[in-house]
Amino acid sequence: MVRSSVKAPMILGLSNQIISDAENFFFTTETVTTFSVISSLEATKFIESECIWEQASVFLAYTMWHLAEINTKLTELTPYKMTRNQLINLMNEPEEIRCNITAVQYIQEYTKLSLSGIMRMSVHLKAGDYMKLEKGCLINIGNIPLKF
């Protein structure tokens, strides 16, 4: 299950140096990506030599906030609210990503909702003109109701 997605430019893995079992995390890309990899020791030395601990701390605080937001959107929510949140997230993705994944696939990757449940809600949202799909890909969303 996808836990988070980020947009470039971004630093990934900075907090992994203090997490046991960090090797269980993995990253994938949805677009052509250029990246560099350095060890945690090299990262720590760079942060120290450039005296940028304050900036690193702000970045890590942002990362924690981002993860808390994701958690809030996925816990103690109804399946409809999870679907609604993921449709809004998908609409905020670049067109290149939206055109290469169906709305149903996207929702399934970010939640553990059943295909039938997602499809049922999607049918109602399309019928109410709250979203427009082309070949399953999200083209536009309107003012999606808070409750189903």
Whether residue 61 has pLDDT greater than 70: yes
The pLDDT of 100-115, averaged and rounded, is 93
Which tokens is 101 given?
């994944």
CA 120/CA 66 separation, integer angstroms = 29
Instruction: Please report which confidence band the pLDDT of residue 16 belongs to, taking 50, 70 and 90 as the band edges.
Output: low
Whether residue 113 has pLDDT greater than 80: yes
Q: What is the pLDDT of residue 24?
A: 64
Which tokens is 73 given?
């959107």
User: 128 versus 72: which is more confidently predicted?
Assistant: 128
User: 98 versus 41: which is more confidently predicted?
Assistant: 98
The pLDDT of 128-147, averaged and rounded, is 93
- Dihedral sign for Cα 11, 43, 39, 59, please: negative
Structural contact between residues 14 and 66, judged by C-beta atoms closer than 8 angstroms: no
Whether residue 28 has pLDDT greater than 80: no
CA 42/CA 78 separation, integer angstroms = 44
Going by C-beta distance under 8 Å and a sequence separation of 6 or more, which residues neighbour residue 148?
78, 80, 121, 124
* Stretch (H or E) spanning 68: helix 53-74
User: 136 versus 12: which is more confidently predicted?
Assistant: 136
Whether residue 17 has pLDDT greater than 70: no
Query: What is the amino acid identity at position 145?
Result: P
The pLDDT of 103-131, averaged and rounded, is 93
Structural contact between residues 87 and 140, judged by C-beta atoms closer than 8 angstroms: no
CA 92/CA 40 separation, integer angstroms = 32
Task: Give the up-direction half-sphere exposure of residue 138: CA atoms within 13 A in the CB hemisphere.
Answer: 29
Share of the chain above pLDDT 90, in %: 48
Q: Decide: helix, strand or coil at residue 4.
A: coil
The pLDDT of 69-94, averaged and rounded, is 85
The pLDDT of 83-110, averaged and rounded, is 93
